[in-house]
Every structure is written in C-alpha cells, then in structure tokens.
Structure 1
Amino acid sequence: MSDPDWIRDRADFVADRDTSPGPLAEQFALLTTSLLTTKTAAGVLQELSMAAVRFLPGADMVSVTLRDADGRLHTPVATDQLAVRLDHVQYDNRRGPCADAVDPAGPAFSLSNDLASNDLWPEFAAASVDLGFHAVLSTALPRDPQPPELSGALNVYSRNKQAFNAADRDVMLLLATHGSLALSTSRAITTAQLQAEHLRKAIDSRDVIGQAKGILMQRRKITADAAFDVLRETSQSLNVKLADLAKTLADRHTELDT
C-alpha cells in the first residue's frame, strides 16, 4: 500500500468516530500511572487487587496467588481474609481455580459461575458455598522471563452466581498483563538499587583499606603489598573482616602506639 493510500484509509477509519476514551480505558490509564509509580512488588499486587474490585462489577473480594520456586503457594495480598481462607483450601488440596491458573502448565484462566454444581474442585467448591461465595475467576499472571520465572494468579470471588462473563475475562487478562509488567519493572528497580548499594559498599571498603594501608606504610616504613599482608594476617588472626579492621585503624590510628 502506498503512503497516500495509507493516509486516505486512516482518515476514513477515524472519520465521524468518537475517539474519546471510555470509562474503562480511563481507569486503565489511571492504573498504569499508579503502577509505574509503585516501586515495590507488594505495592504492585495491592494496586492490582484493588483495581480488580473496581473494574469487575461482580467482584466481592480479590486475592493474589504466588508460586515459589519450590512449588509452594501463598497469598501475599488479599482484599478480604475470607479470600485467604479459600485460597488455602486450594493450597492444601492442590485443587482449585487459582491452583490451576498458577500452574505453569495449567490454563490461562479458570472460571466457575456456579460452584454449587462444580465437581472439578469439590473441597474448594464446598468451602466457598459454605462461606456464601458462588462464582470465581482466576487468571494467570504472565511469567517473568527472568529466573527464577515465578508464576502467579489473580483471583476474583463473587457472592452471586453467573457473576463473570467474557468481558470480565478480557479485563482480567489486561489486569494480569499490567500487573506482570509492573512487577518486572519494580524487580528491575530493586535489583538496580541493590547493585548500586553493593557497588557503593565495595568502593567504601576499598577506600578505607587504602587509608589503613597508607597509615601502616608511613608508620612501619613498608611497601603497599607488605601493609596489605599485615592487614590480612591480622584480620585472620582476630577473625575480623578486613574492611572492619581497616576502618578501625583509619578511625583510631591517633590512639594507637606508633
């Protein structure tokens, strides 16, 4: 297609259309801004859970399931303690919508709009109905490609039957995608902060060791290598970290005998 044809087709496509965003699009825009300013994984998951309550009309409570590298499941965030109870019923039995969705080999989502008639997860279904919840929708969080590739699921519970439809599944998929991207961002920030802190400590240690070596070289009239050997041997004999020993010498050298 030539450039003039593309320009004409684009003009025809947008002609006489209302291009203003709808309420859901506006809410997702606000969520994106909020997630981008959230620097911790816990904060991201909390924002995600609250958004699911707002975005899905049938949602009464929301939880997040995470699967550790050893396969252990846990709920770090929930809008209601009843959601935590129902999550743990699934963890104990290894059966349920969030247990299925969080499984790397499992489905992208698990849905039941009438738990009273569900025979896939009997223990979970019975516990849910006993607590007054009749529908559930769990959506897998896209896995972070970086090791250890932990998996998770966003779980929404409703007190009403037939609470969730195809549109709700689409919204949940978008929420899960937003959440996973934000988690990757917060993880990258945390990693960068840790690396920067490690580098700063390494530089500080190198500087203080250099100061201690200089003191020994001046007082004992020895070479830099010999001064370092003195520090290393003293560190080993006293069972004190080399950097800590060097800092003590640098800070208190005026109190020590020459």
Structure 2
Amino acid sequence: MVAQDEWSRDKAEFVARPADAPHPAGDPDRSPLARQFAQLTRMLLAADSVAGVLQHVAEAAVAVLPEVELVSVTLRSNDGALHTPVETDPLGAELDEWQYQFNEGPCLEAARTPGVAYTYSGDLADEPRWLRFGPKAAELGYRSVLSTAMLPDITPPRLSGALNLYSRGTGKLGDEATRDQALLLATHASLAVATTEAVRLAELEQVHLRRALETRDVIGQAKGILMQRRGISADEAFELLRRASQDLNIKLAEVARTVATRHAELGPPTG
C-alpha cells in the first residue's frame, strides 16, 4: 500500500514539472502515483466489459488509497434508476442500497446529473445531511465516506454514477490528496466506460443480479446453519457474520462461505 507521504511528494513533483518537460526516466520506484495509474491503465485497456473496467477501478482504489477499506460503484440510468454493479465487499452494496431506500446519502448526491464533483462526511454517525443513512452506515461499521462523481456532463442513453469510498474510522478520506486521487480514479473509470462498446445497463444489471443472488444464497446458508447450531434468530445470525467479517477483515461473503463449507466444525446444535 502506497504511503500518504509518497503520494504527496509525487503530486508535488508532478505539479512543479514544466508542461514541456520530458517524461521522467530511471528508477521505476521514483513515482508511485505514475506507476499505479500506468498499471491501472493497462488493466482498463485489457478489460472486455464495463463490469470488468469498474471492478479494476474499485480494486485499485483499495490498493492505492491508504485509508480506503471498502469501495462501491453507483450507476444511475437515464430514467433515474440506481444500482450497484460493483463492490469490493457485499457490505458496499448494502450501504448503497440503504441510500437508495432512504433517498439520501453521498452516492446519490455525487451521481446526480448535474451534480457535485464529490461528497464527503468524516462522521456518518453525526451527519446532519443524512439523518437516516448516516446512523445506519455507522451501525454497519463505517464512519467516513467520499463519493466522487463519474461520467459528468453525459447525455442519455449513457449513464451517470459515483465512485464510493468508505472507511471505518472517523475523520478519514477528507484530505486533499485522497480527494485528488479519487477524482483520478473516477476519471479513469469514466473514460474507459465512455469508450467501451459494452456500455449497456442490462449487462451491468445482470452482473449485479447474478453476484447478488450468489452472495445472498451463501449468506442464507450460513445464517441457517448458525440459527440451527446456536439456537439464534435470523437477525442474530447475520449480525454474527457481520461482526466476524469486520473483526477478521474478511469479506462477509467469504465468512459465510467458510461457515457453509465447514459447518461440521461448529459443534452440535444447541439444546
């Protein structure tokens, strides 16, 4: 993971360099910012679908931004419908879904057309703009969010959207360097999506639906096993899975898959 001081130094060097200066040569480790984005560009050019492009961007955000722990992508179709085709953990889709349900939150504001360049909160538990979504996000373990607009100034049938970055700590993701890097990632995603022939809402919705069904199925299996083995309710079983995911820093779906495939190790049912 690239250290914050490396990013700041690299940005300062880039801004200070004259526009007509030759491309820096020599040590490839001299420029972590350029190195990471060159790698991302190669992956985006090799992607054969919109979903692949967006997945690369989401994974890159976690890899290169030190404070980011969870990433999702919101897309808004020209009829106003919202969905989350890509996330780095099922909780990302859940956080977005609560925003869609409450009709409030950072990803909605950033995905508007026209909309703001980015929306930020460093303490979702006490965020006056989102009185319902903020406490729900904090309950799920995330306190800071930065949503950056994607595909600005587009015309139908193309899509608008937002790149959503989440952190568990308060006061995270608010510095200028993180905002600039998020804008760069969103710009990469926007350019790649705009020039990809596969920009179709149906494709993205199908990917989202298939992944959601697969995830829901394995989480449902794990919940059923825990309910039987521990004698607890469905809500208690989900909370147990969520806390294990957070404590172990493992995706919720992976925790559920482990429970479903290794349930014999949990011991006999309660009672």
Indicate the TM-score class for this superposition, using the shorter chain for normalisation.
0.5 to 0.7
| Deviation for aligned residue 1:142 | 2.3
Contact 1:144 1:180 in 2 (8 A): no
| Deviation for aligned residue 1:181 | 0.8
Match status 1:180 vs 2:190:
yes
Distance between the aligned counterparts of 1:102 and 1:189, measured in 2?
Answer: 17
Distance between the aligned counterparts of 1:119 and 1:60, measured in 2?
Answer: 24
Match status 1:83 vs 2:81:
no
The corresponding residue for 2:180 is: 170
The corresponding residue for 1:239 is: none
Q: What CA deviation, in whole Å up to 9, does each residue of 1:123-164 have, x standing for no partner?
A: 110111111111000000023746313101000110011111
The corresponding residue for 1:127 is: 136
Residue aligned with 1:187, SS:
coil
Distance between the aligned counterparts of 2:73 and 2:199, measured in 1?
Answer: 22
**Which of 69, 74, 85 matches 1:65?**
74
Does the C-alpha gap of structure 1 residues 13 and 33 become closer, same or farther in structure 2, counting only changes over 3 Å?
closer
Q: TM-score by structure 2 length?
A: 0.61
Does the C-alpha gap of structure 1 residues 10 and 160 become closer, same or farther in structure 2, counting only changes over 3 Å?
closer
Greater share of residues in helix: 1
The corresponding residue for 2:35 is: 26
Unmatched runs of 5 consecutive residues or more in structure 2? 1-17, 201-271
Match status 1:155 vs 2:164:
yes
Unmatched runs of 5 consecutive residues or more in structure 1? 1-8, 191-258
Distance between the aligned counterparts of 1:82 and 1:184, measured in 2?
Answer: 27
Pick which of 145-154 and 64-73 moved more. 145-154
Match status 1:143 vs 2:163:
no
Match status 1:106 vs 2:115:
yes
Q: What CA deviation, in whole Å up to 9, does each residue of 1:197-231 have, x standing for no partner?
A: xxxxxxxxxxxxxxxxxxxxxxxxxxxxxxxxxxx
Match status 1:44 vs 2:53:
yes
Residue aligned with 2:53, SS:
helix
- State the aligned residue count: 181
Contact 1:39 1:189 in 2 (8 A): no
Distance between the aligned counterparts of 2:153 and 2:49, measured in 1?
Answer: 15
Taking only the aligned residue pairs, the percentage that are identical comes to 48
Does the C-alpha gap of structure 1 residues 26 and 19 become closer, same or farther in structure 2, counting only changes over 3 Å?
closer
Q: Structure 1 residue runs of 4+, over 6 Å off?
A: 9-15, 17-20
Residue aligned with 1:186, SS:
coil
User: Counterpart of 1:115 in structure 2: which amino acid?
Assistant: L
Does the C-alpha gap of structure 1 residues 32 and 94 become closer, same or farther in structure 2, counting only changes over 3 Å?
same
User: Counterpart of 2:177 in structure 1: which amino acid?
Assistant: A
The corresponding residue for 2:64 is: 55
Distance between the aligned counterparts of 1:186 and 1:83, measured in 2?
Answer: 25
Match status 1:97 vs 2:106:
yes
Residue aligned with 1:122, SS:
coil
Distance between the aligned counterparts of 1:24 and 1:110, measured in 2?
Answer: 23
Does the C-alpha gap of structure 1 residues 73 and 140 become closer, same or farther in structure 2, counting only changes over 3 Å?
same
| Deviation for aligned residue 1:101 | 0.3
Does the C-alpha gap of structure 1 residues 33 and 112 become closer, same or farther in structure 2, counting only changes over 3 Å?
same
Q: What CA deviation, in whole Å up to 9, does each residue of 1:54-113 have, x standing for no partner?
A: 111111110000001210110001111111111011101211000100011321100001
| Deviation for aligned residue 1:187 | 2.1
| Deviation for aligned residue 1:13 | 9.9
RMSD: 2.7
